[in-house]
Amino acid sequence: MLCVCVFFLCLCTRERVEIMLQLQTLGVVFDSKMNLVGALGGHFLNFQKKN
What is the pTM for the complete model shown? 0.47
| Domain extent listing, the chain | 17-45
User: What integer pLDDT is reported at residue 50 of this predicted model?
Assistant: 64
Give the Cα separation of 38 and 46 in Å (integer).
12
Give the Cα separation of 29 and 38 in Å (integer).
14
pLDDT 10s digits, 1-47: 677 877 777 777 878 888 888 888 888 888 888 888 888 777 776 76
User: What integer pLDDT is reported at residue 48 of this predicted model?
Assistant: 65
